[in-house]
Amino acid sequence: MSAPLFLYETIARPLLLRLRPEFAHRLTIRALRLLPLAAPWPDDPRLAVSAFGLTFPNPLGLAAGFDKNGEVADAMLRLGFAFVEVGTVTPRPQRGNPRPRVFRLRDDRAVVNRLGFNNAGCKAVHRRLAAHRAPGIVAVNLGANRDSEDRIADYVAGIEAFTYVAQFFVINISSPNTPGLRDLQRQQALNDLLPRVLAARDA
């Protein structure tokens, strides 16, 4: 077992499991911002994956939800992820649902997340991603503000905001924590949503 993994398993993980889940997550983000991390070993070329016009150095990526505000994209790429998906990000900052909103299922080694798109908003996240330097692919997961009067316009605004700092986008219409969001999965709603976001991407 490598030294970092040994320290994680014997010290960091037991400590984090004693803390409230959301506080443990926040503490982890802060630690990753401070730790000096070297570049990972080069990936074996046989691990490379080509998809959607992009070449990923390996098939392992970090999904949205961990780095909601683009604070540790560089750190996660240096840990060896082929891509980091930041978000979910909404046009305006959003507090999310009341706490507690993250729950551990210890027997299942799982976490229930009812955060509700809490994030710092497009402007703050864009500023962080524009400064990122580690090689690797960065994606942005886009959402709509809870109180938005035009949710499709929120996705368009997100694409326009991150065009020059993201290699691909994820349109999040699956969260159960934003009332009515999953209505966008209906056929007519998708017929309205997809042309507008694709047009924004192409523009």
Which residues form the catalytic set?
175
DSSP 47: G
Q: Is residue 112 helix, strand or coil?
A: strand
Q: 10 Å Cβ neighbour count for 6?
A: 10
Q: In sequence order, what are the residues at sequence separation of 6 or more whose Cβ sits closer than 8 angstroms to the Cβ of residue 197?
A: 152, 155, 156, 159, 169, 171
> Cis bond leading into 100, ω under 30°?
yes
Residue 117 CA: distances (Å) to CA of 10, 43, 93, 143, 191? 33, 33, 9, 7, 24
∠ Cα 4 8 13 (to 5°)? 170
